[in-house]
Amino acid sequence: MQKTKSTKLLRKKSVKKPGTGGHIDLDWGLICALGALGAVRPLIHDLPTFADAQLLQGVVAVSIFGIILAAPILFKVKRPLATLVLAGGVYGVLSIVVHQLLWTTVFPEGYPLTPDAAYQPPEVLVRILASIATLVTSLLTGFVLGCLATLISKFTYNK
């Protein structure tokens, strides 16, 4: 029975190196760098200095996501999906920290959810829910960018 190229690739990918815990081919430096780069966006969004610079905020956001998408392709990362989902997690955690530190700067009179002050939920609940939403959104963003990077990598390098 002749071994095909795809059989060899499948067999090679399924083998785990001892002592790695299954985390093969993940560049943690790149993951952390991409997550930290993404954290610039909430910083610019939350700082009062840039409050009226919506065009700048949009350009920064698109540029950062473009760099995050391009990095695993340019560095020929073997697992772009996992890399960008984890980078999204780092980005989410750093975004939560930025949002929580700048919360009173952005909302000096509290976060207005309803026009009726009698029905305002406790601020701690709003902060927790905002943190969960930030983390979920960041992970989903990493997933979508990771899927795109995987597709682009397949078409670019597997000719």
Residue 10 lies inside a defined structural domain of this protein: no
Q: How far is CA 33 from CA 1, 2, 146, in A?
A: 46, 44, 15
Residue 17 lies inside a defined structural domain of this protein: no
**How many domains is the chain built from?**
1
Segments forming the whole domain that contains residue 122: 26-157
CB neighbour burial string for 119-155, b if at least 16 within 10 angstroms, e if fewer: eeeeeeebeeeebeebbeebbebbeebbebbbeebee
pLDDT tens column, 74-102: 999 989 999 999 999 999 999 999 988 88
Amino acid at 144: V
Residue 2 lies inside a defined structural domain of this protein: no
The CB density around residue 99, as the number of other CB atoms within 10 Å, is 18
Annotate 98-116 with DSSP letters as a single string: HHHHTHHHH-TT----SS-
Closest CA to 107 of 79, 82, 127: 127
Residue 15 lies inside a defined structural domain of this protein: no
State residue 103's pLDDT score.
80
Among the ranges given (26-30, 86-90, 135-139, 145-149), the one the predictor scored with the smallest mean pLDDT = 26-30
Percent of the chain topping pLDDT 90 = 45
State residue 100's pLDDT score.
87
pLDDT tens column, 32-50: 999 999 999 888 888 877 7
pLDDT tens column, 110-119: 666 666 666 7
pLDDT tens column, 10-24: 444 444 554 555 546
State residue 66's pLDDT score.
95
Closest CA to 40 of 61, 26, 59: 61
Residue 18 lies inside a defined structural domain of this protein: no
Residue 83 lies inside a defined structural domain of this protein: yes
Backbone angles phi, psi at 107, to 5 degrees: -125, 75
pTM for this prediction: 0.76
DSSP state of 120: P
Residue 149 lies inside a defined structural domain of this protein: yes
- Give me Rg for the CA atoms of the chain: 20
Structure tokens at 144: 């979508």
**Average pLDDT score over the chain:** 82
